[in-house]
Amino acid sequence: MSLSRLLERLLQLIPVLLGVSAIAFLMMALTPGDPVQIMIGDQSITPEQEAELRRGLGLDRPLLERFFIFLRNALQFDFGTSFYHRRPVSDVIAERLPATIELSLVALIVALVTAIPLGVLAAIRKNSILDRLATVGSLLGVSLPGFWFGILLIMLFAVHLQILPVSGRIGYSSEVPTITGFLLIDTLLHRDLAAFGDALRHILLPAITLGLPMTAILMRVTRASMLEVLRQDYVTFAEAKGLSRRRVLFRHALKNALIPTVSVAAIETGSLLGGNMIVEAVFGWPGLGRLVVESIFLRNYPLVQAAVLLYAVTYVLLNFVADILYTILNPRVKL
């Protein structure tokens, strides 16, 4: 990918983000329910107090004006104040973001380390029992709803076998001062192995639940592309050269077969963001997904808008990463 292509991709970001901002803004504005009414709840206040509250939140201005104020501020990375938390939206999000990133990354790792070996094995032993099991498993993986599968895992490992915790990021007994916000890293930085193990045990089930659909998709992509590659002349030629089976499979076949897998993985990582909302709710994971769901119910406009923008940027950037990885793995595509 040339520099001009890089710039072009970055420029494409502008209309995407503008569009996403407008949609996020309008969706929230058009959703029935009034944030002021929700904040008041059962309390009785005077109409003057209510008007004052509305003015304070900037909700007394016309819709279009509110949109332009939002855009102007967003350009300066000012996403306003969370109605509910009464703190800058960026602070609230920054607090919750590491938990979500950590969960997504672990889910991604889980997906990659199970999907690629399984896909390769299924392709090598095509039509074997293992291949059929993997195929059925991947079908289940994409079809099972995350909330149901998560609850199933909780019932089995937390309730029945009692070997893994039900929810949260870490046990109450562990005190880990925040450095990066990523518990798995912070615990290691403090050389607190017990806490690290605890955090690892907590993240396991949600990460598996979150990563399951992605595992299934990556498994199928790897299997299909491996089968395709194994039919190629260069694999036969590699065998004719008398290379070890290992080298033929991993150096010659897998390197080519991974090109689609990696691209799909990078794009699918974006879908983890959506999965996060459900998985975080099921496992009581204090991340961004849960915050966004809560904020939607509270009509916490500024926070939802900022989060939607963040999701959009992440998605576009991941596509970008997919392109770059593609060029790295595939020497025929020039960088």
Partner 1 sequence: MTVLLEVTNLRTEFSARAGLVRAVDGVSLQISRGECLGVVGESGSGKSVTFASIMGLVRPPGRVTQGTIFFDGCDLRGMSPEEMRAVRGRDIAMTMQDALTALNPALTVGEQLAEVLIAHDETLPTGRAARHNAIKDRCVEMLGLVGIPSPDSRLRQYPHEFSGGMRQRIMIAIALACRPKLLIADEPTTALDVTIQAQVLELISDIRAQMGMAVALITHDLGVVAEHCDRVMVMYAGQVVEEGPTDDVIGHPRHPYTRGLLASIPRPAMRGQPLTPIVGQVPNLMGLAPQCRFHSRCPLAQPSCLVEVPMLPVGPGRRARCLRLEETA
The contact set with partner 1 (CB under 8 A) reads 232-234, 236-245, 247, 251-252, 255-256, 259, 329-332
Q: How far is the CB of 86 from partner 1 (least distance, A)?
A: 55
Burial 120-138 (b: 16+ CB within 10 A, else e): bbbbbeeeeeebeebbeeb
> At its nearest, how many Å lie between partner 1 and the CB of residue 22?
43
Beta pairing partners, 81: 88
Closer CB to partner 1, 252 or 290, in the complex = 252
In the bound complex, what is the minimum distance in angstroms from residue 243's beta carbon to partner 1? 5
CB of 240 to partner 1, least distance (A): 4
CB of 235 to partner 1, least distance (A): 8
Q: How far is CA 283 from the centre of its chain?
A: 15
Angle subtended at Cα 167 by Cα 162 and Cα 169, rounded to the nearest 5 degrees: 115
* Cβ proximity of 180 and 196 under 8 Å: no
> What CA–CA distance (Å, rounded) separates 168 from 50?
37
Shortest Cβ 276–partner 1 spacing (Å): 34
Start-to-end CA span in the chain (Å): 4
- Residue with smaller CB distance to partner 1, 89 or 253: 253
* Residue 264 C-beta: closest distance to partner 1, Å: 17
Distance in angstroms (rounded) separating the CA atoms of residues 288 and 308: 11
* Amino acid at site 302: P
Residue 172 CA: distances (Å) to CA of 175, 185, 195, 282: 8, 18, 10, 19
**Nearest alpha-carbon partner for 119 in 227, 252, 230:** 227
User: Where does the chain show beta strands of DSSP type E?
Assistant: none
Query: Do residues 265 and 214 touch, judged by C-beta distance below 8 A?
Result: yes
Shortest Å distance, C-beta 200 to partner 1: 35
Sign of CA dihedral 263, 266, 271, 275: positive
> How far apart (Å, rounded) are the C-alpha atoms in residues 312 and 160?
40
